[in-house]
Amino acid sequence: MKTGVKRDRKVKNGFDVEKIAKIWKVLEDSGDWLHIAEISRRTCIDECTIRWYLDHYLNKAIDEERIGPKIKLRLVKLKNGIEFESFIKALSFINEIKNNKNEYNYESQRA
């Protein structure tokens, strides 16, 4: 996995399967709507990271409900009928295609 540097700290490019697995497990065990803060508490992963993974990687596997313009309450749950292993395989495949496309564009710009 490639790494980049952001504000003097290393940042992984791509996704962390362990974080996705933790989030998935909490949502699966709950079987009901959960708030981002509750997912964060149960997984010991920062709320911003939870939001990032939900928005960028798990968005096709979750149902989402946003309540109120002033309260800004966001509740999520897993969609029915999606298996974790199949989802990770598809996500890995998509990520690989994106990485190959980015490498191709980088090489063609250098030429």
pLDDT at 35: 95
Please give the tally of structural domains in the chain.
Answer: 1
CATH number at residue 78: 1.10.10.1420
Give me the pLDDT at residue 24, please.
Answer: 93
Q: What range defines the domain where residue 49 resides? A: 3-110
The model's pTM is: 0.73
pLDDT tens digits, 71-111: 778 999 999 988 988 888 888 888 788 777 655 555 555 55
Three-state DSSP class for 31?
coil
CA angle (70 as vertex; 50, 39 as ends), nearest 5: 20
pLDDT tens string 9-20: 555 666 788 999
- Decide if pLDDT at 31 tops 60: yes
Closest listed residue to residue 65, CA positions, set 106, 33, 29 = 33
The answer for 73, left when phi > 0, alpha when psi is -120 to 50, beta otherwise, is beta
Nearest to 47 by CA among 71, 10, 19: 19
- Please give the Cα distance from 37 to 45 (Å, whole number): 10
